[in-house]
Structure 1
Amino acid sequence: MKKIIVINHPHKWNFEISDVDVVSPKTYLESETYAKMKNARVFNLCFDYAYQTRGYYVSLLAAARGQKVIPSVKNILDLKAQAIVKSISEAEDDLIQKKLKHIRSKEFVLSVYFGRNISPQYDKLAHVLYKLFQAPLLRARFIFDGKKWEIQSVKTIPFKEIPEHHLDFVYDTAKNYFTLKRYDKAKVEKFKYDLAILVNPDESEPPSNKKAISNFVDAAEKQGCYVELITKEDYSRIGEFDALFIRETTAVNHYTYRMSRRAQREGLAVIDSPESILRCANKVYLAELLSQNKIATPKTIIIHSENVKGVENKLGFPCVLKLPDSSFSQGVVKVDTPEEMKIKVRQMMKVSELIIAQEFMPTNYDWRVGVLNNKVLFVCKYYMAKDHWQIYNWGSKNKNDITGNFDIFEIDQVPPQVIDIALKGTKLIGNGLYGVDVKEVDGKVMIIEINDNPNIDAGIEDSLLHEKIYDTVIEYLLSLVVR
């Protein structure tokens, strides 16, 4: 398996390891060689993993390309989640107290280089932290509260911040590390189940309206569940349940992801899983994933600061610009001139270093294929909002014109190619609950996007199946519960 080290300044990597490429984030993200490389393992040593930086995108697109990456985006986000760090501190309490009991200060910093520490007495603790967070270079800060030691934070170490007197040890450890063939990973009444349904009472356009939520509750109770509607305030209580069903709009840099991730760590069955949120919520990931697997989409270019010039010549006008984590048509704009594109790109790049530019393909409607566990659940046509090019028109002053009309279809009434492309797309994501938006132009179909948190509203998506749609979703979620 080819190994690739991605580091901001490759020339500062002062030693060679056979069969390992050392490249910059720019080279890795842009090079067609690395984009097409399937049997590869990527080690992301970028300075910064913050959301939507290039370091973040290295891990995100490595996953989209089918490459193995350390750290994964999931691990990167775990590092930023204080609740996860605290839960690990509690889980490894015995080891922490044993290893740090002789330290007299009230603070201790442990550097973890490729799963090792420069002092052998802390090697076991360093290896445990590496297994949990899967980042090659880590710095853990511990504090003593007068009674016991606890982890205060775990962060990645930029290569440039490694003390010079540690470098010889780091180089020796790295040589051993990069010759490994395997990398350790870390391995929870009268009702049968306790189900939490996450909702946001203040969300103006949630993925399920109040009647649909009530129908989900009824379906779950029929199947032996104690059901509780929870909000973000119930984060600390996730471990009380057997399953979590998220029915508010999800995003990666958001508490919905953190609650999903915590639920997964606690051993709950989860829809939407953190993997589904990561893969669907970012349009850059989806664009790369669909392209790598040769699934038809409108012509798409991933824009960054170095390639923005000339994009209009490849797509023409009008074209569509999208922020990577936009949802419900928000963060998506149509531009008609080079001047307008320049302004919008500049604005969007203040939010994300990479954005999507896509060929504009006007149609009167989009197909929406609801998929659960790789099987079609429902199929709708969503018509464009009045006098608008999208199914949502958030700028409309008339509330009734924000969305267009819809039609619901029996599956055998839908063009087979619409079903086929939707299922091909979701199989790349997972086996959860998804909504695939498909355009049909001159008999050809293409995927616009795959949503991890599709609408299931009473009176719309349930128009044909009625209560069966709720029963089916809950039944599948409960089948994932491990007893």
Structure 2
Amino acid sequence: MKKIIVVNTPKNWKFHIPEAEIVSAKDYLTNPEFTTQKNVRVFNLCKDYSYQSKGYYVSLLAEARGHKVIPNVKNIRDFKAPAVVKIISDEIDELIQKSLHKLTGTEFVLSIYFGQNVSAQYLELSQALYRVFQAPLLRAKFVFKQKWFIQSIRPISVDEIPETHKEMVNQFAIEYFQKDRYVSPKTEDYVYDLGILTNPDEVEPPSNKEAIQLFIEAAQDTGFRVEMITKTDYHRVGEFDAIFIRETTNVNHHTYAFARRAQSEGIAVIDDPDSILRCSNKVYLQELMTVGKIPAPKTIIAHSENRHTLAKEIGFPMVIKTPDSSFSMGVKKANNKEELEKILDTMFEHSDLLIAQEFTPTEFDWRIGILDGKPLFACKYYMAKDHWQIYNWDSKDKNAVCGKWDCLPIESVPHGIVKTALRVASLIGNGLYGVDLKEINGHPVVIEVNDNPSIDHGIEDQVGKKKIYLAIMRSLRHRIEDRQNAAQQKVLQHERDMFL
């Protein structure tokens, strides 16, 4: 990916960065060559980001052109928002007090150069502020009133760097632009940057280690430079062209925050936040399927007002689910009224609404993987040994926690199963889904729709092999390029309108 450093006056740029082209703000804004360029990363080091200044327009037009820009317009707005500065000050308060506790005055100014400071004792604080505001050159002012607070933070220009700092700043700049996420020994092979979000400590991740490695290989074959990221990399979302979430998702969770931030910055993301929001809540899914006339087991949204009529309306056995249950956790079976009351008492402590569903025993559940409105894989998941669910988390035998499985070619799956899966997935969105269904008396019924479906090497990829991984990576690349093309068309139309 081409790197451009935009400054007001290139002749004043004294640092030697061979990996990047130095461009004036005027040239970047007015030269039509930059309008049509793709796969560009812009580092906006203009001296002024105020509204309608050249610095502001560099970031604004960079985003319109589909260029990756640091800082983006959102970051620039944050500099001007006292509320944002106060929130950040509160969030890192412990670090601020720890870093500045030896100071004896009432004011302190911290210069942050490419995420670093000339004094090592302020490195951690400098990195924390850079993660939030994402401007290569920053200056923060702190004041002491019983304790230290951030009074203001703003970007600075190269002209504001003291002469005594410039030698170290030059080294910081070299390190910054040589980071792996910007430079690769195979730069010519990679067009985009992909972050794969995982949790190394997750007990039941949606993809095993072998599958993650296959995703990495498929991404590289598709033109991605890949970096594995974790929840601590939230501040770096804007550095990537695409984010692929391979950690169990939930709305009240950092996975949703990652997806939401990626979407707001125009970054391709699987799973997208809308899919996470819709699939994570079974109350929403049930209402959606009812409105869409999707065949499903008899289901009632349970609450405190109707809890005493559930037994009569559904009968026993009855399945009770928490709205955000996954991997069979948060799902209980009541065989009689006494069990039902105990289950409801426990679950209502955590949610005002629950799902009550008729028990529909089958030997196995179907899982149809869907990507971009097309079937991706098909699996049969058999019930765990001597259990009514795929997972038996109470089993003392570790080998019996999960049932067996079969992966089948899509064409071998009953037509009604695939058709129904595609139909319900289309109500959610156009992402990556796993639709769970049962076949009752020859008819498909939908149990639930999952975003972030399990894709493990040796299970879901038994039939599709590497094609599964390549399809997902190609989908991410298409999403990037579709957005770039749309942004390009807007810019060209705007420029045509200006000359009419």
Partner of 1:316: 315
After superposition, the Cα gap between the structure-2 partners of 1:147 and 1:91, relative to the gap in structure 1 and judged at 3 Å, is closer
Partner of 1:480: 479
Unaligned runs of 5+ in 2: 1-71, 84-88, 90-148, 155-182, 485-500
**Matched AA of 2:379:** C
Partner of 1:209: 208
The Cα of 1:416 is off from its aligned counterpart by 0.5
**Matched AA of 2:303:** H
CA distance in 1, matches of 2:209, 2:235: 25
CA distance in 1, matches of 2:436, 2:222: 31
CA distance in 2, matches of 1:96, 1:381: 53
CA distance in 2, matches of 1:263, 1:209: 24
CA deviations over 1:26-78 (Å, ceiling 9, x no partner):
xxxxxxxxxxxxxxxxxxxxxxxxxxxxxxxxxxxxxxxxxxxxxxxxxxxxx
Determine helix, strand or coil for the equivalent of 1:435.
strand
Give the percent of matched residue pairs that are identical in Structure 1 and Structure 2.
54
Partner of 2:121: none
Partner of 1:225: 224
After superposition, the Cα gap between the structure-2 partners of 1:275 and 1:228, relative to the gap in structure 1 and judged at 3 Å, is same
CA distance in 2, matches of 1:293, 1:470: 31
CA distance in 1, matches of 2:467, 2:210: 15
Partner of 1:352: 351
Partner of 1:420: 419
CA distance in 1, matches of 2:437, 2:151: 59
CA distance in 1, matches of 2:272, 2:203: 23
CA deviations over 1:318-368 (Å, ceiling 9, x no partner):
100000001011000001111111111111111110000000000000000
CA distance in 2, matches of 1:323, 1:306: 17
CA distance in 2, matches of 1:248, 1:146: 37
CA distance in 2, matches of 1:341, 1:391: 21
Partner of 2:151: 146
The Cα of 1:408 is off from its aligned counterpart by 1.2
CA distance in 2, matches of 1:345, 1:211: 40
The Cα of 1:205 is off from its aligned counterpart by 1.1
**Matched AA of 2:346:** Q
Matched, 1:250 2:249: yes
Is the 8 Å Cα contact of residues 361 and 388 (structure 2) preserved in structure 1? yes
TM-score after normalising by structure 2? 0.61
CA distance in 2, matches of 1:89, 1:220: 29
Matched, 1:434 2:433: yes
Any runs of at least 4 consecutive aligned residues in structure 1 with deviations exceeding 6 A, and if so which? none
After superposition, the Cα gap between the structure-2 partners of 1:347 and 1:412, relative to the gap in structure 1 and judged at 3 Å, is same
The Cα of 1:145 is off from its aligned counterpart by 4.0
Unaligned runs of 5+ in 1: 1-86, 100-105, 107-143, 150-188
CA distance in 2, matches of 1:193, 1:88: 21
TM-score after normalising by structure 1? 0.63
Q: Which has the higher helix share?
A: 2
1:278-293 to structure 2, matched below 5 A, reads 278-293=277-292
After superposition, the Cα gap between the structure-2 partners of 1:304 and 1:395, relative to the gap in structure 1 and judged at 3 Å, is same
The Cα of 1:94 is off from its aligned counterpart by 7.1
CA distance in 2, matches of 1:203, 1:385: 21
Q: How many residues align?
A: 317
Matched, 1:200 2:199: yes
After superposition, the Cα gap between the structure-2 partners of 1:387 and 1:256, relative to the gap in structure 1 and judged at 3 Å, is same
RMSD: 2.3
The Cα of 1:411 is off from its aligned counterpart by 1.3
Determine helix, strand or coil for the equivalent of 1:245.
strand
The Cα of 1:206 is off from its aligned counterpart by 0.7
After superposition, the Cα gap between the structure-2 partners of 1:357 and 1:91, relative to the gap in structure 1 and judged at 3 Å, is farther
CA distance in 2, matches of 1:92, 1:247: 31
Rg larger for? 2
Partner of 2:400: 401
Partner of 1:462: 461
Partner of 1:366: 365
